[in-house]
Homo-oligomer: A and B are copies of this chain.
Amino acid sequence: MKEPFFVLVRPQMGENIGAAARAMLNFGLASMRLVDPRDGWPNQRAVAMASGAAGRVLDNAVVHPTTAEAVADCTHVYATTARSRDLTKRVLTPEAAMAEAADRIAKGEKVAVLFGPERAGLENDDIALANTIVSVPVNPEFASLNLGQCVLLTAYEWRRHTVEAEPARMEFAGTEPASAVEVQKLGDHYEERLDEVGFFFPETKAAGMKRTLRNMWSRLDLTRADVQLLHGMLRQILRRRDAVERDDGQP
């Protein structure tokens, strides 16, 4: 098992169990355990909410009568809770907890994360079974995360610490970055045509204006498609202008 067990402790509404399965699977997690679900198991409302691939998370979920039994084989247990609980225990952010959980699992440990029932959250007897508390750093003046949101954020942090996501990439839709020579030729094209219409005026400022324009083209990170578009735009404007001038009877 290369992932933590997400243990829903005494969950009440089937819909929320289904939503938790979806939230888990969104971030690649599929190992759910259930402690004494209020409406029994299996639960059709859970299945209806999960639907599709997340339904298989429910199919594979194992039900235990008590929290102690649900975590019996785990070497480290995290308990998610918002409030301070009158228990002396280490408290981690979801980020730190999932980074640590990934390390533990890589070393062969079995890890569980406890999530409490919708209304009241985990009881102190559940938390006393955990090694570490996980607390989402919410706005202290408005802390209203529900079960599904707590599962979502924890699963998100799991994936963030196990699957390398590129923090930044460039999406190229059927094109690629323009080369320097392409950008240079684009600059030549605009400079020549603008020179012809007297854009670089007065003469004393022409060199600076040209440099500003060249600098803009380089700065814009143009694609080949952009360069073609900008060439075409300029050509078409000039063609249209020439046509209008001919209509006006000018030479």
- A-side residues, CB < 8 A to B, are 22-23, 25-28, 52-54, 84-93, 95-96, 133, 136-139, 141-145, 149, 152-153, 156, 159-160, 163, 165-175, 223, 225-226
Contacts and interface: CB of A to CB of B under 8 A. Distances in A.
Contacts of A145: 26
A83 to B, nearest CB: 10
Contacts of A142: 22, 25-26, 28, 52-54
B84 A167 contact: no
Contacts of A171: 84-85, 87-91, 133
Nearest to A141: B53
Determine how many copies of this chain the complex contains.
Answer: 2
25 contacts: A22-B144, A25-B142, A25-B144, A26-B139, A26-B142, A26-B145, A27-B138, A28-B139, A84-B171, A84-B173, A88-B226, A90-B170, A90-B171, A91-B168, A91-B170, A92-B167, A95-B160, A96-B167, A96-B168, A136-B156, A137-B159, A137-B160, A139-B159, A152-B153, A153-B153
